[in-house]
Amino acid sequence: MYIKNLRINWNQQECKEYYNEILSINNLETLDFKKRITFFVGENGSGKSTLLEAIAVKYGFNPEGGSINYNFSTKPTHSSLSELLTLSKGIRSKDGFFLRAESFYNMASYVDDIGIDFEGYGGRSLHEQSHGESFLTLINNRFRGNGLYLLDEPEAALSPQRQLSLLVMINKLVNNNSQFIIATHSPILLGIDDAAIYSFDNDDINQIPYEETESYNITKLFIENREILLKRLMNDSE
Ligand SMILES: Nc1ncnc2c1ncn2[C@@H]1O[C@H](COP(=O)(O)OP(=O)(O)OP(=O)(O)O)[C@@H](O)[C@H]1O
Ligand SMILES: [Mg+2]
């Protein structure tokens, strides 16, 4: 494990920030990473990206995504939460990447700008591939194992079929001494074996089983009861 635990040193905070309003984060003191794969789940706005970004910045990643030595910034928007974090680390990872669906476009531009050798990126510019293709190209070619990989909603670009491909890639990388922390809403990715799932709902961060995640339950409910559910939703909205 490259990150075993995090602690937030609230006593070092000098003035309140927006993340003090996010209860899951404001109530957090410490979090353990005991499994090779940790998922962050929870409602939109529950604080997953805020915490993942703080972990990434503290570990040395560029806040908008990339590897440790990527250094680009389109907007100085990252929060100061990373300054309050202490990470309890194991051995130093040999590889690493912070991949955010929401700023992937900017990262692809950076890769173009620095005139990188595209060999590691599927042989052509990430901009010349579809969103999903470029996302998987990057993971396939650039994630080399023995690494720490932080992914924010990797499913955003991917078809269900490709999410299954990603699941297989993650599993291979884990077998090659990697650690993942992934914020996701995908009932497919969450189904991977032997992961810890932390829910940011209910004003706290708690570990829950796969079958208790909203992503699983709402997808299952919808598929099994589509017609009844649609009628009820339409009636409620009238
Ligand atoms: N730079 C910022 N300034 C002010 N508020 C912010 C900022 N970034 C995020 N927030 C607020 O913090 C809350 C948590 O946002 P965050 O992006 O961490 O949620 P999330 O759990 O990742 O949601 P999603 O599932 O939609 O990605 C939201 O209410 C959001 O509006
Ligand atoms: Mg988010």
Distance 53 CA to ligand 2 centre (A): 9
Domain of residue 167 covers: 3-212
Asked, for residue 227, whether it belongs to a domain, the answer is: no
Please report the atom of ligand 1 found closest to the CA of residue 78.
1
Residues 238, 233: Cα–Cα separation, whole Å: 9
Asked, for residue 223, whether it belongs to a domain, the answer is: no
CATH label of the domain that carries residue 170: 3.40.50.300
- Sheet of 196-199, strand order: 95-100, 147-152, 179-183, 37-41, 196-199, 206-207
Asked, for residue 95, whether it belongs to a domain, the answer is: yes
**Sequence letter at residue 160:** P
Q: What pLDDT is stored for residue 8 in this prediction? A: 97
pLDDT bucket at 135, cuts 50 / 70 / 90:
confident
Distance 166 CA to ligand 1 centre (A): 25
pLDDT tens track for 17-37: 999 999 999 999 999 999 999
Ligand 1: residue whose CA is nearest its atom 28: 45
Asked, for residue 238, whether it belongs to a domain, the answer is: no
Asked, for residue 145, whether it belongs to a domain, the answer is: yes
Residues 151, 53: Cα–Cα separation, whole Å: 10
Number of domains present in the structure of the chain: 1
Asked, for residue 157, whether it belongs to a domain, the answer is: yes
pLDDT bucket at 52, cuts 50 / 70 / 90:
very high
